[in-house]
Chain A
Amino acid sequence: MSKNIVVLLLVTFGVTMFSCSESNSPTEEQFPGFSVPKNFPTPTYDLTKNPVTKNGFTLGKKLFYDGILSIDGTIACGTCHIPSSAFTQHGHDLSHGVEDRLTLRNTPSVQNMAWKKFFQWDGGVFDLDLFPINPITAHNEMDETIPNVLEKLRNHKDYPGLFEAAFGSNEINSERFLKALSQFQLMCISANSKYDIVSRAEGATFTTDENAGYVLFKAKCESCHKEPFFTDESFRSNGISPIPGTDDKGRARITLNPNDEYKFIVPSLRNVLETAPYMHDGRFRIIENVLDHYSNGIVDSPQLDPIFKNGTTLGTQLSNEEKRVLIAFLATLTDSNFLNSKLLSE
């Protein structure tokens, strides 16, 4: 009899422990978990409010690649955010939503999200957990509502069990849904490019061209594309003229400040050679077009970033040789571990 009581005690304690902790999954050791690369600063995202667990990540990953998030089941996050292109949509200038509805902008990459302060080209979202609400509800993206998504997940054969594994009960609500999606995105860390290996002094060295490119990069590009993320997350106009017929005012849509018109966030250059086409509207098909733009394509406007105004010339003149070594350096930002990660791909 007393043996039974002991068993009861142990079982109940077990349940008690489990109810307080979300990370007691026995296979935890097989999951790398979230960790901060040595050459990265402290994350912006508050991981204490949403610790990344294997089961939370697994749920988030399934959600990320599931069309159930869209109104007709056709569009998943992963439809436009494809891992082998650093979670962009290779070859598409503008992204497409349900029924092939065209959006205003080029798909931004999903990488190193834990360190980002702003989301979207205009920075209209400031919290990773709140970000998915936009693509899910936007008419030209997934055109769905959050309550509908939650209801579909509740009625699904797998999701209630996955939520239970991740959060301790099968309740499916906005907070859990969005935090699971964040857990997957938080794990999309690109920190193993050649550049990273060199900067962490882990054995690799730059070639002569790469090094020349790095020196040039620091002189001409780094004021906006700041290491280690190759962005300072500021909003700037880089002198690309608005395309006739579209009137995407960028940051000014959020601030309503005329000084912010046609400004967009400085994008990260990590994996940049894999994320063509370029700019918020995908107007440049190849990286050479981008360098040509900064060299001799900048159009003046009241909002043009002062950094591009040097006396009578606009932009930063680059010789063909300079462009060649810059591209050699940019190639060192390609992180093939990240692009080919089995953990992250569908």
Chain B
Amino acid sequence: MKLLYVITFLVLISLFTNACTQKTIVSPTPIEPDSTSTISIKITNFFGSEELILGNEYTNLHNEMLKPEILKYYLSNFSFQKTDGSIVTIPQDSSYFLVDQENNSSRVIVFNNVRIGEYSSIKFLVGVDSLRSVSGIESRKGVLDVGGLGKDMYWGWNSGYVFFMFEGTSPSSTVFLNRIRYHVGGFGGYSSPSMNNLRNIIISHSSPIKLIANKKTYIDIKAQISTIYIGSQDVSIKTYPSIMFVPISSSIATNYSRMFSVESVINE
């Protein structure tokens, strides 16, 4: 009798757990376990020659002193181009990250099960792609959750994510309490064209990035935050202490699109 109970239980549990999920679709070409490896990307924010630390003082190329207090930005839609030209794209749902200077673990991005081989470049977006920016609340989880990790990175009045947020103080700022505030967003508009501040980033290392079976690949990426002030259009704190959803924010986006570089690649 006891055995009958156990069997009934097992049958019922299996019924219960299968009831709500559709059958898993098996990938037509199963990946061999030793044909993939793990990539671990570490992002380090810099300001000039020094690593950026919130609360420290830095000077931009317009000779303006500033003290960063908040630095957060979205990276998404990662893909890796192989030296043979083929592209490995990370499944989109696992490809949204919020780099937050206050949170060390947010600056490490790990991709498991990436095909081994030689890669020439890494491609990603700064921001949240337009498709996800207009998709339903049910597909806004994790860092995209406005009631969770994404809470400060969203404009409720103009539905869309803030892609890049940099705040602090500067004696060159003329606004209240000498604050500086740069909030860059804008995915191109829902039904009428609007500002598009999504920026595609493609970066390479001096030699191909190798993914080797049974070894992890550690990629160090440097993000030079001081680039926001110079480039396509120079932006000084004196003239622009606070920038949000206005056209000049596109210049900041273009300026920071040059901020990333691959510093080192280690397989171990």
Contacts and interface: CB of A to CB of B under 8 A. Distances in A.
A20 B20 contact: yes
B148 A133 contact: no
Contacts of A253: 158, 245
B250 to A, nearest CB: 10
B5 A174 contact: no
A115 to B, nearest CB: 16
Interface in A253-298: 253-257, 260
A204 interface: no
A260 B146 contact: no
Interface residues of A, number: 47
A5 B5 CA distance: 7
A215 B193 CA distance: 37
Interface string A170-191: 0001110111000000000000
A127 B15 contact: no
B20 A46 contact: no
B1 A46 contact: no
A47 interface: no
B8 interface: yes
A13 B16 CA distance: 8
Interface stretch (A53-61, A145-153, A328-336): A145-153
A98 interface: no
B16 A147 contact: no
A78 B159 CA distance: 22
Interface string B182-198: 00000001111111000
A49 B12 contact: no
A179 B1 CA distance: 47
A75 to B, nearest CB: 15
B136 A127 contact: yes
Contacts of A256: 194-195, 245-247
Interface of B: 1, 4-5, 8, 12, 15-16, 19-20, 134, 136-138, 140, 145-148, 151, 154, 156-159, 189-195, 245-247
A268 B179 CA distance: 42
Most buried by A among B5, B159, B189: B159
Most buried by B among A137, A147, A173, A174: A174
A179 B139 CA distance: 13
Interface in A84-123: 117-118, 120, 123
Contacts of A136: 156
Nearest to B151: A147
Contact of A16 (B19, B193, B246): B19
A178 B154 CA distance: 15
Contacts of A9: 8, 12
A40 interface: no
Contacts of A1: 1
A173 B138 contact: no
A257 B157 CA distance: 17
Contacts of B12: 8-9, 12
Given A125-B159, A130-B159, 17 more contacts: A1-B1, A5-B4, A16-B16, A46-B136, A124-B158, A125-B158, A133-B154, A135-B156, A138-B156, A174-B140, A174-B146, A175-B137, A179-B137, A254-B194, A256-B247, A257-B192, A257-B193
B1 A147 contact: no
Given A255-B193, A256-B194, A146 B151 contact: yes
A257 B16 contact: no
A255 B189 contact: yes
Contacts of A125: 156-159
A46 B138 CA distance: 12
